[in-house]
Amino acid sequence: MSKYEAVCVLESQAVIGECPRWHPTERVLYWVDIFAPSLNRFDPVSGETASWEMPERIGCFGFRAGGGLIAGMQSGIWFIDLAPELALRRVFDYEVFDPDLRFNDGRVDPGGRFWAGSNHESFVKRAAALYRFDPDGSCTRMVDGLICSNGLAFSPDGQTMYHSDSRQDYVWAWDFDPRSGTISNQRVFLQIDIQEGRPDGAAVDAEGGYWICHVGGWHLARYTSEGKIDRVIGLPAQRPTMCAFGGADLKTLYVTTARNPLSEQALRKQPLAGNLFAIKVDVPGLPEPFFGAAD
């Protein structure tokens, strides 16, 4: 039995809560609700929250070194500024003619580039891809043949990139060059049994442990860098979507969850679905790199 306890810290009731990100200087957690669509902020000390309505579905984001955020949304990659008032500017047009395609999971790499993977809402068509957006404004299609890009994370030494497809039920590992942003030597890191929940959002801790949410499976799990499972933490919500380390010591694991596509009957049995959870862990996470600022 796990010694770790998932505690509900915010009754967000998100349709699809996703992409939690801890801001190291503001000491708050940002996250999105893809289908609201909204960008949200939570202060765990004061309990204060804020929410910004987005013009289209928002799947992922990272923090920019010069302030504000970079986000993968429905139509492309956007810069978002929150102060002095909300301002958005699209910096990459997705240029696809399929309304079922949108950006989904993503994050900033150790070299300060933004990676964003797309998702096809049919969950069948292999039309999605993983993109790399560089600080110079160039955008490169890096991985093709995906259905629902997910699980993106980087090892503590910056030499390995993890990436999954929630509908192919694999997590892959790639050799990663933090200087050039190139990837090579793709291999299977994990093969997920869908009876345990499909692979969703992920994070890596300071020891190289790969934490991933098993959406549909009521839990998240930690795998060693060798791909061996060593911790499983249950949640009172069937659909955990992504995890992120936060707190002053980065020893709080925040987990977003989803209500969609649960039926009304299922939701009556799990009233905490869609809420934000926190778990105290003993191994700290890694601080998130900022877009445009190489380590």
Tens digits of residue pLDDT in 194-215: 888 999 999 999 999 999 999 9
Q: What percentage of the chain reaches a pLDDT higher than 90?
A: 91
- Give the pair of three-digit tokens for residue 71: 């986000």
**Residue 265, H or E segment:** helix 264-269
- Which of these is catalytic: 33, 105, 200, 205? 200
Q: What is the spatial distance between Cα 214 and Cα 212, in angstroms, rounded to a whole number?
A: 6
- The model scores a pTM over 0.85: yes
Here the CATH number for the domain that contains residue 73 is 2.120.10.30
Q: Quote the domain boundaries for residue 232.
A: 7-280
State the total domains in the chain.
1
Residue 291 maps to a domain: no
Residue 77 maps to a domain: yes
Residue 288 maps to a domain: no
Residue 137 maps to a domain: yes
Place of tokens 């999605």: 128
- 102 Cβ neighbours under 8 A, 6+ residues apart: 57, 59, 73, 74, 118, 119, 121
**Is a pLDDT exceeding 80 seen at residue 293?**
no
* Confidence class for position 294, pLDDT limits 50, 70, 90: low
167-180 pLDDT, tens digit per residue, is 988 999 999 999 99
Residue 2 maps to a domain: no
**Is a pLDDT exceeding 80 seen at residue 295?**
no
Is 157 in the active site?
Answer: no
